[in-house]
A = this chain, B = another copy of it.
Amino acid sequence: MSAESRLQELGLTLPEGPTPVASYVNCVRSGNLLFLSGGLPARDGQLITGKVPDTISPEEANEAARLSILNRLAVIRQEVGSLDKVRRIVNLQGFVNSAPDFFDHPKVINGASDLLLQIFGEAGKHSRLALGAAALPLNAAVEISLIVEVE
């Protein structure tokens, strides 16, 4: 099943691709690699904020990581026209807005990784870095960047 069909089957709709602000853009292509900017999680256009586990639970942050993938996918579709042009999710960097004594970053970032696997199957299996950041832009709960190989 194609990634676009799978997205539909999962009942997922991609948000508008985020508006590039200032002097950077959502995505740069070099050869057949897309380098995506760090994306923040939103639900219905509302940013999901909080430091894990002090002001947002690991479970909510896992859901935030999942949602942040939706706007990363919107960027990919914007760039190459269709998710079906993705050959491989190459790399994911997942930063958690983390208290200094929180150690379950992998479980949080699994929200992002699991969704990629659901949508892309084998092509969604990526290498990954997951860790805790001292602070994230606008107090976002997570920030996720991707490198993606396309046709």
Contacts and interface: CB of A to CB of B under 8 A. Distances in A.
Interface residues of A, number: 58
B147 A90 contact: no
A67 to B, nearest CB: 16
B26 A137 contact: no
A50 B34 CA distance: 34
Interface in A122-139: 124-139
A101 B100 CA distance: 13
A35 to B, nearest CB: 4
A124 B116 CA distance: 30
A28 B113 CA distance: 14
Contacts of A22: 106, 110, 113-114
